[in-house]
Amino acid sequence: MGNLRTKDLSKIGYHNDQLRSLVIGVVSKNFKHHSKQEILDLLVDIKNDPEAFLDNTLTSKIAEKIIGKEEGAPFKAYTLRDEPVCVKTYGGKFIEPSAKQQMELASLLPVSLQGALMADAHMGFGLPIGGVLATDNAVIPYAVGMDIGCRMALSIIDESDSFIKRSAYQIKQALKKHTHFGMEGGLDIRQEHEVLDSTVFNEIPFLKPLRGKAVRQLGTSGKGNHFVEFGEIEMLADNALGLPARRYLALLTHSGSRGLGAAIAKHYTKLAMDTCKLPKHAQQLAWLDLNSEAGQEYWLAMALAGDYAKACHDRIHSNLLKALGLKAICVVENHHNFAWKDKLSDGKEMIIHRKGATPAHKGELGIIPGSMTTPAYLVSGKGNHDALYSASHGAGRAMSRQKAKDSMTVSAMKKMLINADVTLIGGTVEENPLAYKDIDAVMTAQRDLVDIQGKFYPRIVRMNKE
């Protein structure tokens, strides 16, 4: 028998840890004189038609295990904790009670280990936006969210800030030609990126039909608060990037994993809710055990969505810089709707969910935007344990989209843009600057979490127009 490894089994569709252990045990005991390829061919046949192998004493255990998985494990019911785990809140006076209540509910899950609530927090779905939750070997699809891997990317360019005034027309034309916003459509020129060749698209059957849409949407942005903007960044003295302290041209983008991430989120949230039964008011926080086949599948799919989100930013930045004859000297980027494996301060392994929160381990760089007329901050993390090595992912909404729409006119927003020396392409009053909290107050509330390295000022902003 050849050296059969779990990686070989994953390639032919055996993703469950228990099943793979069983297979390796059965094969090593009963198929010593078969070649590796003969064994893999046999295992493919068993997986495709397990009933045909139930009467064979050598293969029956594998077939029974597969059939059990295909029929689906029965759901398991859980009760909530009597007392919540520790949740540290930053900038609590800026946070609405409903967001705090959502975070408290998450802290009562039996798999929860620790939580944190960032200063930009507001009510969301599942976890509040700005909520951070550490769990024990469990991933909560709805705590990662619908826009998996939503992220920020900043390219600092070796040009002075005067480039924007000199080349405003060319920048606007490039933004119109090389960006696309909204739910449908894509760029005129087909985009290429290695993420489209990921084997995960084929390893998980659910993902296969999603690849076509991923190809079409590559290099595009969503709607809502997603943006692509040129501006000027003021780098502070002795900054972590080692750049001279002056103003530079910069490109800043905010977007996520598009339709791919949304489909993954819906599929695995339903799977979690079907198998992990919680009290009705907590059901959206159903989790997948990372030792389960579904948990491992989601983890792979989530990582793919994160890679795809990064690929979209890669293409946006590459296309725009090439069109304008520019070159980045530094790129800073990070996810904020994602789950990571990490360790608590006592060394215990945990899964950290950051729903609209920026990773901020010691020295880790991130970008925290304000609004279309207020600065974004380039920061480095301080590695605060109480905050689960996190910081806010922006200023955070002060108004719902409907309230922002009702309380701001187009003409009033235009005046705000003029006063801030900002040109807006697209955009709606739902994203007007007053819809967001005061970014400087939010930054003050998290001074124990990050150090400021630079300050970015938006100048030409492209958003979706609805």
Residue at 116 is within a domain: no
Confidence at residue 2, expressed as pLDDT on a 0 to 100 scale: 58
Confidence at residue 20, expressed as pLDDT on a 0 to 100 scale: 83
pLDDT of residue 46 exceeding 70: yes
Both 61 and 159 in one domain: the answer is: no
The CATH number of whichever domain residue 391 belongs to comes to: 3.90.1860.10
Residue at 107 is within a domain: no
What are the backbone dihedrals phi and psi of residue 55, each rounded to the nearest 5 degrees, phi first? -90, -5
Both 250 and 330 in one domain: the answer is: yes
Both 48 and 175 in one domain: the answer is: no
Q: Give me the domain span that covers residue 24.
A: 6-71
Residue 221 is classified by DSSP as B
Q: What is the pLDDT of residues 196-236, one digit of tens each?
A: 999 999 999 999 999 999 999 999 998 889 999 999 999 99
Tell me the average pLDDT across 110-132.
95
Q: Which of 4, 23, 133, 102 is nearest to 69 (CA)?
A: 23
Both 67 and 151 in one domain: the answer is: no
Residue at 91 is within a domain: no
Give the domain-ending residue among 71, 91, 125: 71
Both tokens of 216, joined, read 């079409």
Domain count, the chain: 2
pLDDT of residue 1 exceeding 60: no
Q: What is the pLDDT of residues 412-442, one digit of tens each?
A: 999 999 999 999 999 999 999 999 999 999 9
pLDDT of residue 285 exceeding 50: yes
- Please give the annotated binding residues for Mn(2+), written as ranges: 147, 226, 254, 336
Both 60 and 160 in one domain: the answer is: no
Percentage of the chain modeled with pLDDT above 70? 98
* Residue 350, helix vs strand vs coil: strand
DSSP per-residue string spanning 90-122: SSGGGS-HHHHHHHHHHTTSTTEEEEEEEEEEE
Both 67 and 158 in one domain: the answer is: no
- What pLDDT band is residue 55 in, cutting at 50, 70 and 90? confident
Full-model pTM = 0.83
Give the domain-ending residue among 15, 36, 71: 71
Catalytic residues: 393
